[in-house]
Structure 1
Amino acid sequence: MQAMATREEIEAYCLPQGTLSQLLREIAGHRPGVLTHVGLGTFVDPRQAGGRLNAAAVDPIVHLVELHGRQWIFTPSLPIDVAIIRGSVADDRGNITMDKEGLFAEALSAAQAARNSGGIVLAQVGERTSAGSLDPRRVKVPGVLVDAIVVDPHQRLSAATADDPYLTGQLHAGDLPTEPMPLTVRKVIARRAARELVAGDVVNLGFGMPDGVAAVLAEEHVSDQVTFTVEQGHVGGVPQVGSNFGLCRNPDATLDASYQFDWYDGGGLDVAILSFAQVDLAGNVNVGKFDGRTPGVGGFINISQGARRLVFVGTLAAGGQVSLDGNGGTTISAPGKAKFVGQVDQISFSGPEAARSGKDVRYVTERAVFSLTDGQLTLTELAPGLDLERDVLAHMHIRPRIHHRVRTIEPALFRAGLVGLTLASSPERR
């Protein structure tokens, strides 16, 4: 699909995952669409690309409107012809439970949207049972919405996992032993990002490098001091990584995704730790379109605009080779491609919007830490033993503001073994 979009063979658009999730509810209720602040200042904003990913995407699918003295992005409803959903068990009347699923996603909203649009609903389940045998409190999609059932007794929980009752919530695993991360720049970045957390924080960890934060907290036995959440609907527990991303081990609660996004959009997150592909001088971040690829943004825009504090994590340069000796020493043997650039290819996070709303924003790399200060990217910390000009600034296409007192990143974060990681008691004491 990405290749077809690049070759202009399809009209390619991308909207925030939360907007799409909420849109299904609006379609089901025959309401006009989603009105939200999410996406303002980003490529979703009609004043920028309006969610378009290529030249073939001509028609506008979002609009800028003003209501009660504020600007909003309006995404109109559209009819759903077919909804394809999945569950665990269906009875002979089509009622579907999801007890063995790792998430609920938008199954109910999608089915309601298709049914009320005059479309059809196709459901895949792992098994079938007789009518009247299901506990009605466990039915997530009623049979009146379902047109056809496909039974696949071998359906997998995910691409990576065939079945795991600890990821479906059927069993609670207790305190599982965790394998420590090897000492690499990924671990150093995760440790430094974890220093931004405060005891009691409600946290979202993005896809990729942010998942290392959960690993280092577990290794240091402080995971219970924060509550992780996942945009697919989980609250509590341990978010999973790789092809299990979106699942959670030992969650306290699992919600429909649209309700989770309602909470995120309204400011439910204390802090989000997210990846970056590009950063520019205004603090804008790109994760959705770079190097000829268009992976999209998922829930990134909802999360980054809703969270009170932001920590973006990534290596200073792409493809660089940085080695650690385990005693705090760092060697840069290959510079890599600059990720701090004059202008990001696509704005997934708007630095100016964040500055206007007074958000606390950090950018953590293995060589330096930056903050968004007075609307400008500012270098505040330098890795021990590195030269500012030679090892950092020479590998950036921009020159950030340099703080008048550049601190040294804690040397212990670059060493093997436990580092005695502790969490602050309040944001002011980080």
Structure 2
Amino acid sequence: MRKPKFVSAEEAAAMILDGTTLCTIGMTLVSASESILKAVENRFLETGPPKNLTLFHTCGQSDRKDGIAHLAHEGLITKVIRGHWGLCPPFMKMISENMLEAYNLPQGQMANMFHSMALREPGKLSKIGLGTFVDPRIEGGKMNEKTRDKEDIVSVVTVDGEEYMQYKEVPIDTLIIRGTYADEAGNITTEEEAMVLEVLPAVMAAKRFGGKVICQVKQIVKSGALGAKEVTVPGILVDAVVVCQDPVNDHRQTSSWYYDPSYSGQVKTPLKGTAAIPLSIRKVIGRRAVMELKKDVVINVGTGIPNDVIGPILAEEKVQEDVMLIVESGIYGGMPAGGIDFGISCSPEALIPHDRQFEYYTGAGIDFTFMGAGEMDREGNVNATKMGTVAAGAGGFIDITSTAKNVVFCSTFTGGGIQAEFDEAGIHIVKEGRFKKLVKKVQQISYNGKMAVARGQNMFFVTERAVFKLTEKGPVLIEFAKGTDMEKDILAQMEFKPLMADEIRETPVEIYKEKAFGLKKIIEGQELGL
């Protein structure tokens, strides 16, 4: 029976040839094959190869210093096709300085490209991406000047009279994955990983192209020791296995800790004792955002303000049982971690594959999604992917906001050093941000306002001092905070004059208090504070 080779990290790095396409699987630092990535970096710096690689990956895979950041060297990587770079400053710097070609595609479409590639289909067809910067009639997902005149890796095709994006195949030469255990036959399990991810579909895609599959694991066990249903990747599909020699540093469950079974589904810990997060401008925005919720809805939270504050707010308000919170990585329920540990959850009810989660987003569509935002313009277009030359990328933003029934963007009114104080009298702007976020025209279209209106989507843009609702005429100011001056604090801080609701509401001051503000009553349809 065919079995993989058991090799060192250095030997695995030597399997990657110059000028080939490397694919890595992970999200943030979850499932990052640190031993192998470090070995690739060291080999390049010490001897030269591998060089001129194309790097393909669906999610952001760094915690600002590790993960794919080890590959961020000019000459090592000359082209990237990726979903997100927000937690990888070295690659964002390389993109902004035109040190490599950079393509950004929607994360969910990339995850499902593995299925299309494995099945030898003529690309992944989807309506996701139309009307955004990924559309080849706009930017084609090209994120810097160096890429502008390069080949298109997406196109628009017509099927039965309707337009679709065609995400073209990317042949994989080498795939790096991570598991928990491998047996002597190379069968791989992933029970201690905090996400299921899209490991098996990526393996199938790599095998279709004759690519090599390399897996990093914690430990080798005897043949027959692994339950058949627990095997994620059969050994006959694996070419090489690397046993991590320093798992505490190089095989961490996530950036902030080595291993906690409550994040990988082995145990459940109580969430009731979770401490409330301190009152801040981010918490105020999150509180106002969740006021749009209704009972029994399914909600998604994106990176930034939503992921950092909405889970804790729901816990503080004791409404966790009234809604189901899910994350794009495949998490259902529990308490999501934030920041560099985005994508995992303490004591989740279910963990499903990352690629399958996007089938839910794209097909049924989530009830509510809460997303961060960089800019919004007079047409309701939103930019969340590129500010100046700094390109974080879309991640799952385009996939999720394209089909959600209700989209709530969470953003400070201005950006760059904004400071505010809150009390029962409302809000006081201590220091205005250095730049405006409500602009005449967004730099990059991550969310198309006109298309959102056409599909009947409800969209809100929530800030600490004002709330806008998107209509067919554009964003309408429907609410402002007590303590603000309409001319000085709102209109003067925008590049366009907004449409005004016939009756502009005042934001309830309860969200500016330290204690719980009564979200449960709102969700149940009762009046706040009554």
So what's the TM-score if we normalise by structure 2?
A: 0.79
Distance in 2 between residues matched to 1:352 and 1:425, nearest whole Å: 32
Equivalent residue in structure 1 for 2:255, among 151, 154, 159: 159
Residues 161, 244 of structure 1: 8 Å contact kept: no
Residues 393, 399 of structure 1: 8 Å contact kept: yes
Equivalent residue in structure 2 for 1:13, among 80, 97, 103: 103
Residue 16 (structure 2) aligns with = none
**Alignment of 1:290 onto 2:384:** no
Distance in 2 between residues matched to 1:338 and 1:55, nearest whole Å: 25
Shift of 1:324: 2.2
Shift of 1:191: 0.8
Distance in 2 between residues matched to 1:267 and 1:239, nearest whole Å: 23
The amino acid across from 1:202 in the alignment is: V
**Alignment of 1:301 onto 2:398:** yes
Residue 312 (structure 1) aligns with = 409
Distance in 2 between residues matched to 1:328 and 1:309, nearest whole Å: 30
Residue 368 (structure 1) aligns with = 466
SS in 1 for 2:482: coil
Shift of 1:114: 0.9
SS in 1 for 2:152: coil
Residues 426, 481 of structure 2: 8 Å contact kept: no
Distance 1:401 1:261, change over 3 A: same
Distance in 1 between residues matched to 2:138 and 2:492, nearest whole Å: 31
Shift of 1:325: 4.1
Please say which of residues 173-182 and 245-254 is displaced more in the overlay.
173-182
Alignment of 1:187-336 (within 5 A): 187-211=283-307, 212-336=309-433
Residue 493 (structure 2) aligns with = 395
Residues 355, 375 of structure 1: 8 Å contact kept: no
Shift of 1:176: 4.0
Shift of 1:387: 1.3
Equivalent residue in structure 2 for 1:186, among 282, 290, 294: 282
Residues 450, 472 of structure 2: 8 Å contact kept: no
Shift of 1:135: 0.2
The amino acid across from 1:248 in the alignment is: S
Shift of 1:32: 1.6
Please say which of residues 317-326 and 112-121 is displaced more in the overlay.
317-326
The amino acid across from 2:354 in the alignment is: A
Residue 517 (structure 2) aligns with = 419
Distance in 2 between residues matched to 1:172 and 1:328, nearest whole Å: 41
**Alignment of 1:53 onto 2:143:** yes
1:294-337 residue CA offsets vs partner (Å, 9 max, x unmatched): 11110000110121100000100002433324323322122211
Shift of 1:157: 0.5
Residues 283, 375 of structure 1: 8 Å contact kept: no
Residues 327, 416 of structure 1: 8 Å contact kept: no
Residues 202, 270 of structure 1: 8 Å contact kept: yes
- How many pairs were matched up? 427
1:173-205 residue CA offsets vs partner (Å, 9 max, x unmatched): 133411112111111111111101111111100
Shift of 1:236: 2.2
Distance in 1 between residues matched to 2:345 and 2:277, nearest whole Å: 19
1:358-381 residue CA offsets vs partner (Å, 9 max, x unmatched): 100000000100000124011000
Shift of 1:8: 1.9
Residue 408 (structure 1) aligns with = 506
**Alignment of 1:30 onto 2:127:** no
Shift of 1:56: 2.1
Distance in 2 between residues matched to 1:411 and 1:401, nearest whole Å: 24
Unpaired runs of 5+ in structure 2?
A: 1-90
Residues 286, 347 of structure 1: 8 Å contact kept: yes
Distance in 1 between residues matched to 2:132 and 2:458, nearest whole Å: 18
The amino acid across from 1:408 in the alignment is: E
Residue 33 (structure 2) aligns with = none
SS in 2 for 1:378: strand
Shift of 1:248: 1.4
Distance in 1 between residues matched to 2:510 and 2:162, nearest whole Å: 47
**Alignment of 1:80 onto 2:172:** yes
Distance in 2 between residues matched to 1:271 and 1:290, nearest whole Å: 26
Residue 225 (structure 2) aligns with = 133
**Alignment of 1:144 onto 2:236:** yes
Please say which of residues 359-368 and 231-240 is displaced more in the overlay.
231-240
SS in 2 for 1:166: coil
The amino acid across from 2:195 in the alignment is: L
Residue 67 (structure 1) aligns with = 159
**Alignment of 1:382 onto 2:382:** no
Alignment of 1:88-99 (within 5 A): 88-99=180-191
1:26-81 residue CA offsets vs partner (Å, 9 max, x unmatched): 11122221000101110011110011112222111101011122111001212110
The amino acid across from 1:175 in the alignment is: L
Distance in 2 between residues matched to 1:295 and 1:133, nearest whole Å: 43
Residues 322, 330 of structure 1: 8 Å contact kept: no
SS in 2 for 1:140: strand
Residues 183, 326 of structure 1: 8 Å contact kept: no
Distance in 1 between residues matched to 2:223 and 2:368, nearest whole Å: 46
Distance in 2 between residues matched to 1:327 and 1:296, nearest whole Å: 38
CA RMSD of aligned residues (A): 1.4
Distance in 2 between residues matched to 1:126 and 1:206, nearest whole Å: 30
**Alignment of 1:100 onto 2:192:** yes
Distance 1:89 1:176, change over 3 A: farther
Residues 364, 370 of structure 1: 8 Å contact kept: yes
SS in 1 for 2:519: coil
So what's the TM-score if we normalise by structure 1?
A: 0.96
Shift of 1:122: 0.6
Distance 1:364 1:68, change over 3 A: same
